[in-house]
Amino acid sequence: MAVPCKHSRFSLRHELDFFRPIMPYVIRVTVFPAALVDTLRYKQKGNMMRRRNLIKHHPIACLLILLLCGCAQAFAAEVTLAWDPSPSAGVTGYKLHVGSSSRNYGAPITIGNKTQYTVTGLSAGTYFFAVTAYDADGNESGFSNEVSETIANTRTCNINGDSSVNILDLQMLANVIIGAGQSSSTYDLNSDGRVDVLDLQILNNVILGLRSCP
């Protein structure tokens, strides 16, 4: 379920002669905590059934199977930003600036003449966003005010939800990885955006007492 939209008022600062002072407008942020799932599945039903049965009776053995088949499910969060169009004359498009710290952004995303954009592939952490407007000659306004959104870390080693981390959780996670169970971004124990054999190895070490749950 989407988080309620957040509202912030901002305006593009008048830094270039091309831009006249503009009226304030609204940027709205909506976060989708569970992103699209990309599942790699076996095409042959017989192979799927044989692997399911093997993991059911020998959950530790699935480590080798998963290394060989490369099955995984990918997860990431999405942040959708929307803003009212600038009333300044001559504006032909917008750029979205994203960073992991305030006013420290990476390369801008050129949106074009649109007033909404969805940033995908976000892992847990806090992200900062600002918008600039530009004209046909490439003149660009200053940054808008900044909005931020935090993607929560919701990882868990208690895969089956029985309040105990044991071999049953390992078996369930193995089934999820091969596509025999419902996946979740909370199973991404190493926060690499994928639920795969690396997460299974972490869970196995947690069960053996070699490390704590991330």
Domain residue extents for the chain? 6-34+76-151, 40-73+154-207
Q: What is the pLDDT of residue 46?
A: 36
> What kind of architecture, by CATH, is found in domain 6-34+76-151?
Sandwich (2.60)
- Predicted confidence band at 63 (pLDDT cuts at 50, 70, 90)? very low
Residue 95 CA to residue 143 CA, distance in Å, equals 10
DSSP 187: G
Tens digits of per-residue pLDDT, 115-160?
889 898 887 789 999 888 888 988 888 888 788 888 877 788 989 8
Using the CB atoms, write b or e for 176-202: b if 16+ within 10 Å: bbbbbbebbbbbbbeeebbbbbbbbeb
12-58 residue pLDDT tens:
333 333 333 333 344 444 444 333 222 222 223 333 333 333 333 33
pLDDT digits 0-9 by tens, 73-125: 555 678 888 877 887 888 899 999 999 999 999 999 999 999 889 898 887 78
Rounded to two decimals, the pTM is 0.53
Sign of the dihedral through C-alpha 195, 196, 199, 203: positive
